[in-house]
Amino acid sequence: MLSYSELKKYISALEDCEFFEDKDLTSFTTFKLASTGDLIEVKSVEALQKLLPLLSQNQKEYLVVGWGANQILPPVCDKIIIHLDFPFDLNSLSDIKNEYEFPASLGLNHLTAHAVKFGLKGWEVFTGIPASLGGAVYMNAGTNLGEIGKMVTKVKLVTPNGILREEVINGKSFSYRHNHFVKSGEIIVFITMIHAGVDEGISVKIKQYLEYRKKSQPLTTKNCGCVFKNPNKELQAGRLIDLLGLKGLQIGNLRVSPKHGNFMENLGGANWDHFKAIVDIIQYEMDHFYGIEFELEVKIPYHL
């Protein structure tokens, strides 16, 4: 097994991989809690196929970050952060197709712009979700219009031993904010998507939904989206937090959004301890008053 300093030399020598030591990772999540750690930018699938076996064989744990819109990194990350930045020609979105293959690093905003332009039915389900496509598929991101998983037919992944494997999507591949096919250490690299035809009304629907989101969610603040999963379809986590009077609760510079109870806002300089403290209070109160165990939706690669 290689020492970490030897391993770093091998990684730095890989084509299409850039290694950054002790990188400030704060801007790699939308919540922007202070974090530092080692980061690798990967610019091709071939590079990822060489990188993952190198890390696995040398027992170095890693974690992939997309847009970091539903993820919190700790103050010091001891896992290597992998960030994908695969090339994609946006001009290929100037025509409508029946089927598309996109890289995991592509932003959902480009797909929404394409759906508005051509009125693609089915693509309204991810309106306004800040995400890389890989992160959105991993999370089966969705709105009350539906979930992205319904539009996905195939996913290509790189396994920890560097194999490019294809997963054909079926009715059991996804559930609420969850996928059932990404195995430990695998990274999504390409996604095949379809649409359900063309409907001119879709463009209007997307624009109206964007307006609705602006009014109902604190989109301009530093946050990580919904912190907790809804206990079920009828019980919205944000509404329950609101009913307990916890909107506006503030610890340090972190507060429960006054606009939406399931969002927490970093008002500047909030840290991991503030987050943990607010989560503890909410989970305690939910259990105490409603007997509901509140599960985190936001991904935390370490135990709280």
Ligand X SMILES: Cc1cc2nc3c(=O)[nH]c(=O)nc-3n(C[C@H](O)[C@H](O)[C@H](O)COP(=O)(O)OP(=O)(O)OC[C@H]3O[C@@H](n4cnc5c(N)ncnc54)[C@H](O)[C@@H]3O)c2cc1C
Please give the DSSP secondary-structure letter assigned to residue 53. Answer: H
CB of 4 to ligand X, least distance (A): 22
Using CB under 6 A as the binding rule, whether residue 66 contacts ligand X is answered as: yes
Using CB under 6 A as the binding rule, whether residue 262 contacts ligand X is answered as: no
Q: Which stretch binds ligand X (CB under 6 A): 2-10, 39-47, 135-143, 267-275?
A: 135-143
Using CB under 6 A as the binding rule, whether residue 299 contacts ligand X is answered as: yes
| Whether 177 is catalytic | yes
* List 26, 57, 58, 143, residue binding ligand X (CB under 6 A): 143
In whole angstroms, what is the distance from residue 51 CA to residue 160 CA?
9
Q: x-or-dash pattern for ligand X, window 11-40, by CB under 6 A?
A: -------------------x----------
Quote the Cα angle for 27-65-139, to 5°.
120
In whole angstroms, what is the distance from residue 79 CA to residue 231 CA?
31
* List 136, 155, 251, 279, residue binding ligand X (CB under 6 A): 136
Backbone angles phi, psi at 184, to 5 degrees: -50, 130
Using CB under 6 A as the binding rule, whether residue 86 contacts ligand X is answered as: no
Catalytic residue among 165, 177, 213, 255: 177
How would you classify the pairing of strands 99-103 and 187-194? Answer: antiparallel
| Cα-based distances in Å from 29 to 93, 257, 299 | 27, 18, 11
CB of 259 to ligand X, least distance (A): 11
The H-assigned helical ranges of the chain are: 4-13, 45-57, 108-118, 133-139, 201-216, 237-243, 272-285
Query: Side-chain half-sphere of 18: how many Cα atoms within 13 Å?
Result: 8
Using CB under 6 A as the binding rule, whether residue 64 contacts ligand X is answered as: yes
In whole angstroms, what is the distance from residue 244 CA to residue 68 CA?
29
Using CB under 6 A as the binding rule, whether residue 116 contacts ligand X is answered as: no
* List 74, 119, 135, 261, residue binding ligand X (CB under 6 A): 135
In whole angstroms, what is the distance from residue 206 CA to residue 114 CA?
11
Q: x-or-dash pattern for ligand X, window 175-214, by CB under 6 A?
A: -------x----xx--------------------------
* List 42, 52, 129, 256, residue binding ligand X (CB under 6 A): 129
Q: Which is nearer to ligand X, 138 or 275 (CB)?
A: 138
Tokens of 177: 């904010």
Collapsing DSSP to helix, strand or coil, 128 comes out as coil
- Contact positions vs ligand X (CB under 6 A): 30, 63-71, 84, 104, 129-132, 134-136, 138-139, 141-143, 182, 187-188, 217, 219, 223-225, 299
